[in-house]
Amino acid sequence: MTALTSQAAAGALAAKSRLPVAQRRKARRLVVQAMYQHLLSGSTPGAIEEEFREEHTGKIDWEYFTEILVGIVTHRNELDAHIEPLLDRKASALDPIEQAVLYLGTYEFANRIDVPYRVVINECVELAKVFGATDGHKYINGVLDKLALTLRPLETKSRA
């Protein structure tokens, strides 16, 4: 890669990271809803995305939404392999909302190192509070906190 190409790539990444936090937060919220729909209906990510784009307007980080939704569905077995050792049951036995939120957090831990682990945990806990059962956010927090130690060891090493 040439220096010019590297600079262009760095500039593009910087521009993406400057998207307002609210757009990324909305994308995450929609991912949880989309995964819930996928888990219950088995609809394809493409069909769900098409439906969501028609139903939801406003500023949303659609690129992030697509990456995460497709990534979760495509790599679900790998995500289960990360999550299940930390659970008291199989991932498939979880409430679909808890499952969707854990998949989101696990995918971000494993594939989006540009997002700090504390942000991943916080966003997932907040989503669990909005969509999940009364104390579901506590379960999500516990699982993701342990998962951060294995998927983000360098980042979590210095935490107090």
Domain range annotation of the chain: 19-154
What is the sign, positive or negative, of the torsion defined by CA atoms of 137, 56, 52, 25?
negative
Rounded Cα distance between 101 and 60, Å, is: 18
Closest CA to 127 of 21, 28, 17, 18: 28
Name the class of domain 19-154: mainly alpha
pTM: 0.86
Query: Are 105 and 147 a contacting pair, CB within 8 Å?
Result: yes
* pLDDT of the residue at 58: 86
**pLDDT (tens digit, 0 to 9) for every residue of the chain, 160 residues total?**
433 343 444 444 444 555 688 999 999 999 999 999 999 999 999 999 999 999 998 899 999 999 999 999 999 999 999 999 999 988 889 999 999 999 999 999 999 999 999 999 999 999 999 999 899 999 999 999 999 999 999 998 876 5
